Structure 1
Amino acid sequence: MASIEELANTLRGVAASGMKPKALLAAVREKHPEATKKEVVRAAFYALAEGQSGDHADLHSFALTERAVDDDEPVKSVKLRKKKKDRKSASEGHATH
Protein backbone atom coordinates (compact mmCIF):
# COMPACT_ATOMS: atom_id res chain seq x y z
CA MET A 1 0.00 0.00 0.00
CA ALA A 2 1.29 3.46 -0.91
CA SER A 3 1.78 6.03 1.82
CA ILE A 4 -0.06 9.32 1.83
CA GLU A 5 3.23 11.07 0.97
CA GLU A 6 3.76 8.83 -2.07
CA LEU A 7 0.21 9.45 -3.27
CA ALA A 8 0.61 13.21 -2.72
CA ASN A 9 3.84 13.23 -4.75
CA THR A 10 2.13 11.32 -7.55
CA LEU A 11 -0.79 13.75 -7.49
CA ARG A 12 1.56 16.71 -7.79
CA GLY A 13 3.28 15.01 -10.72
CA VAL A 14 0.18 14.06 -12.71
CA ALA A 15 -2.11 17.02 -12.00
CA ALA A 16 -2.53 19.28 -15.00
CA SER A 17 -4.58 22.40 -15.55
CA GLY A 18 -8.18 21.61 -16.43
CA MET A 19 -7.88 17.94 -15.52
CA LYS A 20 -11.17 16.29 -14.57
CA PRO A 21 -11.41 14.45 -11.23
CA LYS A 22 -11.93 11.05 -12.89
CA ALA A 23 -8.86 11.55 -15.06
CA LEU A 24 -6.78 12.58 -12.06
CA LEU A 25 -7.92 9.54 -10.09
CA ALA A 26 -7.19 7.26 -13.08
CA ALA A 27 -3.70 8.73 -13.48
CA VAL A 28 -2.91 8.09 -9.82
CA ARG A 29 -4.31 4.56 -9.99
CA GLU A 30 -2.02 3.79 -12.96
CA LYS A 31 0.94 4.19 -10.62
CA HIS A 32 -0.83 2.99 -7.45
CA PRO A 33 -3.56 0.52 -8.49
CA GLU A 34 -4.25 -0.51 -4.89
CA ALA A 35 -5.06 3.06 -3.78
CA THR A 36 -8.66 3.69 -2.84
CA LYS A 37 -10.50 6.83 -3.85
CA LYS A 38 -10.65 7.88 -0.21
CA GLU A 39 -6.86 7.57 0.11
CA VAL A 40 -6.31 9.61 -3.05
CA VAL A 41 -8.64 12.37 -1.81
CA ARG A 42 -6.82 12.45 1.54
CA ALA A 43 -3.51 12.63 -0.30
CA ALA A 44 -4.84 15.57 -2.33
CA PHE A 45 -5.66 17.44 0.89
CA TYR A 46 -2.25 16.45 2.27
CA ALA A 47 -0.54 17.79 -0.86
CA LEU A 48 -2.38 21.08 -0.44
CA ALA A 49 -1.68 21.36 3.28
CA GLU A 50 1.98 20.56 2.83
CA GLY A 51 2.27 23.88 0.99
CA GLN A 52 4.88 23.17 -1.65
CA SER A 53 5.18 25.84 -4.31
CA GLY A 54 3.15 25.56 -7.48
CA ASP A 55 -0.37 25.90 -8.74
CA HIS A 56 -2.59 23.40 -6.97
CA ALA A 57 -5.98 24.63 -8.17
CA ASP A 58 -6.78 21.24 -9.73
CA LEU A 59 -5.84 19.35 -6.57
CA HIS A 60 -7.94 21.74 -4.50
CA SER A 61 -10.93 21.30 -6.78
CA PHE A 62 -10.52 17.51 -6.83
CA ALA A 63 -10.20 17.27 -3.05
CA LEU A 64 -13.25 19.42 -2.39
CA THR A 65 -15.55 17.85 -4.96
CA GLU A 66 -14.61 14.27 -4.15
CA ARG A 67 -14.20 14.41 -0.37
CA ALA A 68 -17.75 13.35 0.52
CA VAL A 69 -18.43 11.19 -2.50
CA ASP A 70 -18.10 7.45 -1.98
CA ASP A 71 -18.63 4.99 -4.82
CA ASP A 72 -19.91 2.31 -2.46
CA GLU A 73 -22.39 4.24 -0.37
CA PRO A 74 -24.19 7.57 -0.87
CA VAL A 75 -23.87 10.29 1.73
CA LYS A 76 -27.00 10.41 3.86
CA SER A 77 -28.16 13.40 5.81
CA VAL A 78 -29.18 12.78 9.39
CA LYS A 79 -31.87 14.78 11.10
CA LEU A 80 -31.04 15.38 14.73
CA ARG A 81 -33.83 14.99 17.24
CA LYS A 82 -34.41 17.35 20.10
CA LYS A 83 -34.11 15.87 23.55
CA LYS A 84 -37.42 15.25 25.23
CA LYS A 85 -37.80 16.88 28.59
CA ASP A 86 -38.46 14.63 31.51
CA ARG A 87 -42.21 15.13 32.04
CA LYS A 88 -42.12 14.10 35.70
CA SER A 89 -39.47 16.66 36.67
CA ALA A 90 -41.14 19.32 34.52
CA SER A 91 -44.53 18.81 36.22
CA GLU A 92 -42.90 18.91 39.69
CA GLY A 93 -41.24 22.18 38.82
CA HIS A 94 -44.63 23.77 37.92
CA ALA A 95 -46.33 22.48 41.09
CA THR A 96 -43.97 24.34 43.39
CA HIS A 97 -44.68 27.75 41.85
Structure 2
Amino acid sequence: GSHMGTVHEKLKWAFNLYDINKDGYITKEEMLAIMKSIYDMMGRHTYPILREDAPAEHVERFFEKMDRNQDGVVTIEEFLEACQKDENIMSSMQLFENVI
Protein backbone atom coordinates (compact mmCIF):
# COMPACT_ATOMS: atom_id res chain seq x y z
CA GLY A 1 0.00 0.00 0.00
CA SER A 2 1.39 3.34 -1.08
CA HIS A 3 1.26 6.37 1.19
CA MET A 4 -1.44 7.97 -0.96
CA GLY A 5 -3.59 4.90 -0.45
CA THR A 6 -3.60 5.35 3.28
CA VAL A 7 -4.43 9.03 3.07
CA HIS A 8 -7.27 8.17 0.73
CA GLU A 9 -8.59 5.53 3.10
CA LYS A 10 -8.44 7.94 6.03
CA LEU A 11 -10.29 10.60 4.10
CA LYS A 12 -12.95 8.14 2.99
CA TRP A 13 -13.34 7.09 6.58
CA ALA A 14 -13.66 10.72 7.65
CA PHE A 15 -16.22 11.37 4.92
CA ASN A 16 -18.32 8.42 6.04
CA LEU A 17 -18.09 9.65 9.60
CA TYR A 18 -19.57 12.98 8.56
CA ASP A 19 -22.13 11.50 6.20
CA ILE A 20 -24.54 10.59 8.98
CA ASN A 21 -27.43 9.35 6.82
CA LYS A 22 -25.05 7.72 4.30
CA ASP A 23 -26.58 9.43 1.26
CA GLY A 24 -23.19 10.26 -0.24
CA TYR A 25 -23.35 13.93 0.67
CA ILE A 26 -22.24 15.88 3.69
CA THR A 27 -24.64 18.66 4.64
CA LYS A 28 -23.83 21.54 6.95
CA GLU A 29 -26.21 20.06 9.51
CA GLU A 30 -24.38 16.74 9.45
CA MET A 31 -20.98 18.34 9.73
CA LEU A 32 -22.15 20.58 12.54
CA ALA A 33 -23.52 17.62 14.49
CA ILE A 34 -20.17 15.83 14.23
CA MET A 35 -18.19 18.96 15.08
CA LYS A 36 -20.31 19.56 18.15
CA SER A 37 -19.80 16.04 19.43
CA ILE A 38 -16.05 16.31 18.81
CA TYR A 39 -15.90 19.69 20.55
CA ASP A 40 -17.88 18.21 23.43
CA MET A 41 -15.43 15.35 23.73
CA MET A 42 -12.26 17.40 23.41
CA GLY A 43 -13.30 20.94 24.00
CA ARG A 44 -13.55 20.98 27.75
CA HIS A 45 -10.05 19.61 28.10
CA THR A 46 -8.23 21.09 25.17
CA TYR A 47 -9.81 24.50 24.85
CA PRO A 48 -11.02 25.84 28.18
CA ILE A 49 -12.03 29.10 26.51
CA LEU A 50 -13.87 27.54 23.60
CA ARG A 51 -16.74 29.65 22.35
CA GLU A 52 -20.12 28.11 21.71
CA ASP A 53 -20.21 29.23 18.09
CA ALA A 54 -16.81 27.80 17.24
CA PRO A 55 -18.15 24.57 15.66
CA ALA A 56 -20.50 26.52 13.39
CA GLU A 57 -17.69 28.82 12.24
CA HIS A 58 -15.54 25.79 11.57
CA VAL A 59 -18.26 24.26 9.42
CA GLU A 60 -18.72 27.48 7.43
CA ARG A 61 -15.01 27.61 6.68
CA PHE A 62 -14.95 23.95 5.67
CA PHE A 63 -17.84 24.44 3.33
CA GLU A 64 -16.31 27.53 1.73
CA LYS A 65 -13.28 25.42 0.86
CA MET A 66 -14.97 22.17 -0.02
CA ASP A 67 -18.27 22.99 -1.67
CA ARG A 68 -16.92 23.88 -5.09
CA ASN A 69 -20.25 24.28 -6.85
CA GLN A 70 -21.90 26.04 -3.91
CA ASP A 71 -24.86 23.67 -3.80
CA GLY A 72 -24.78 23.38 -0.04
CA VAL A 73 -23.56 19.80 0.06
CA VAL A 74 -20.11 18.26 -0.20
CA THR A 75 -19.63 15.09 -2.25
CA ILE A 76 -16.90 12.55 -1.65
CA GLU A 77 -15.08 13.92 -4.71
CA GLU A 78 -15.20 17.49 -3.44
CA PHE A 79 -14.13 16.29 -0.02
CA LEU A 80 -11.13 14.30 -1.26
CA GLU A 81 -10.01 17.07 -3.56
CA ALA A 82 -10.25 19.79 -0.93
CA CYS A 83 -8.51 17.72 1.72
CA GLN A 84 -5.63 16.80 -0.53
CA LYS A 85 -5.15 20.42 -1.56
CA ASP A 86 -5.41 21.90 1.88
CA GLU A 87 -2.97 21.06 4.66
CA ASN A 88 -5.17 22.63 7.33
CA ILE A 89 -8.05 20.35 6.51
CA MET A 90 -5.74 17.37 6.49
CA SER A 91 -4.36 18.18 9.91
CA SER A 92 -7.80 18.69 11.40
CA MET A 93 -8.77 15.31 9.96
CA GLN A 94 -5.81 13.78 11.78
CA LEU A 95 -7.22 15.30 14.93
CA PHE A 96 -10.25 13.03 14.80
CA GLU A 97 -8.10 9.92 14.91
CA ASN A 98 -7.00 10.92 18.38
CA VAL A 99 -10.57 11.44 19.51
CA ILE A 100 -12.29 8.39 18.14
Name the TM-score class by shorter chain. under 0.3
Could you say which structure has the higher helix fraction?
2
Q: Which has the larger radius of gyration?
A: 1
Q: TM-score, normalised by structure 1?
A: 0.25
